[in-house]
Homo-oligomer: A and B are copies of this chain.
Amino acid sequence: MLYLVGLGLGDAKDITVRGLEVVKHCRRVYLEAYTSILTVGKEVLEEFYGRELILADRETVEQEADNMLKDADLCDVAFLVVGDPFGATTHSDLVLRAVKLGIPYRVIHNASIMNAVGCCGLQLYNFGETVSIVFWTDTWKPESFFDKIQKNKKNGMHTLCLLDIKVKEQSLDNLMKGRKVYESPRYMSVNQAAEQLLAIVQNRRLQGEELEITENTLCVGLARVGATDQKIISGTLQQMSTVELGGPLHSIIVAGSLHPLEIDMLKLFAADESSFEDNECHRNT
């Protein structure tokens, strides 16, 4: 049996009781380590589980999946994923490969950023399409996520923006020379995401576009959701460029139309309560 086990979002203790049982009894246990991170590392998990974990980076999962699944028809193998195995990143590839090999599988669900963001008080019901904001480079500055956010906003929907993670990336130079030298991991902060969004707002305004999203649009910045030191701050997009949220992982929500109860919740996390005065308080229905 292949078990896909969600680890939740905080630390070692956020695994479910069932998930922990699975981890303890499986022959081999892989830890997916390229789409998200916990606030603790592999060693802390190993100590808590009382067993060794095999780190599975993107290369392993994409190119050596058959090795990972070896004998999983005869013994139990677990694949641990931060959040939920079908959360922000789905692991459909691995499931499809297992099924093709005649290996049964089971998913042990957990919280993922896709549902845990509800803790800020915005109703999950009212979220539209989720977007990813990628790190811009000098020569590559995509804006497609902005159009999706504007579309959601126009429909009254909130947008969860997942922020880029660069793990085990090679510099262009090392990549071209085939050197397996990797850069330090980078995690986009709410500040960086807000700056990119503000740059797009300015560009579009110069082009004379009528904007749904401006510097004054209400947003929520979230850091380390689910961990004991999680931080949530609500305020304008402009404010998001300077809020201090601490270490990764970060996410940002661009709010759509707000229900009074949602406003009351967001005020608990306000960078500055006056941000709420000029904003619309009705829901599109």
The answer for the CA separation of A8 and B17 in the assembled complex, in Å, is 11
| Number of this chain's copies in the complex | 2
The answer for the CA separation of A242 and B183 in the assembled complex, in Å, is 55
Give the chain B neighbours of A264 by CB distance below 8 A: 92, 96
Q: Contact at B125–A130, with CB atoms within 8 Å?
A: yes
Q: Contact at B18–A13, with CB atoms within 8 Å?
A: yes
The answer for the CA separation of A107 and B107 in the assembled complex, in Å, is 23
**A31 CB, nearest partner CB in chain B, Å:** 17
The answer for the CA separation of A226 and B84 in the assembled complex, in Å, is 12
**A283 CB, nearest partner CB in chain B, Å:** 11
For residue A96, which residue of chain B has the nearest CB?
B264
For residue A6, which residue of chain B has the nearest CB?
B111
Q: Contact at A268–B99, with CB atoms within 8 Å?
A: yes
**A39 CB, nearest partner CB in chain B, Å:** 13
Q: Contact at A111–B118, with CB atoms within 8 Å?
A: no
Residue-wise, chain A 63-106 has the 8 Å CB interface mask toward B (1 for contact) of 00000000000000000000011111010110110010000000
The answer for the CA separation of A55 and B129 in the assembled complex, in Å, is 36
The answer for the CA separation of A128 and B244 in the assembled complex, in Å, is 31
Q: Contact at A124–B13, with CB atoms within 8 Å?
A: no
**A2 CB, nearest partner CB in chain B, Å:** 13
The answer for the CA separation of A96 and B260 in the assembled complex, in Å, is 12
User: What is the total number of residues of chain A having a CB less than 8 Å from a CB of chain B?
Assistant: 54
Name the residue in A10, A21, A93, A119 with the highest tally of chain B Cβ atoms < 10 Å from its Cβ. A119
Give the chain B neighbours of A86 by CB distance below 8 A: 115-116, 118-119, 121, 124
Residue-wise, chain A 124-135 has the 8 Å CB interface mask toward B (1 for contact) of 111111110000
Contact A8:B126 (CB < 8 A) given known A21-B13, A119-B86:
no
Residue-wise, chain A 167-200 has the 8 Å CB interface mask toward B (1 for contact) of 0000000000000000000000000000000000
Contact A115:B87 (CB < 8 A) given known A13-B17, A99-B268:
yes
Q: Contact at A8–B13, with CB atoms within 8 Å?
A: no
Q: Contact at A128–B157, with CB atoms within 8 Å?
A: yes
The answer for the CA separation of A54 and B265 in the assembled complex, in Å, is 27
**A27 CB, nearest partner CB in chain B, Å:** 21
A residues contacting B by CB (< 8 A) are 6, 8-10, 12-18, 20-21, 84-88, 90, 92-93, 95-96, 99, 107, 109-112, 114-116, 118-119, 121, 123-131, 151, 155, 157, 225-226, 261-262, 264-265, 268
Give the 4 A-B residue pairs with the shortest CB-CB distance, closest first: A86-B118, A109-B111, A115-B115, A13-B18
What would be 23 A-B contacts, judged by CB atoms less than 8 Å apart? A10-B18, A13-B17, A13-B21, A14-B17, A84-B111, A84-B116, A85-B119, A87-B115, A92-B121, A92-B262, A92-B265, A95-B121, A96-B261, A109-B119, A110-B110, A110-B111, A111-B112, A114-B114, A114-B124, A115-B115, A126-B129, A127-B130, A129-B155
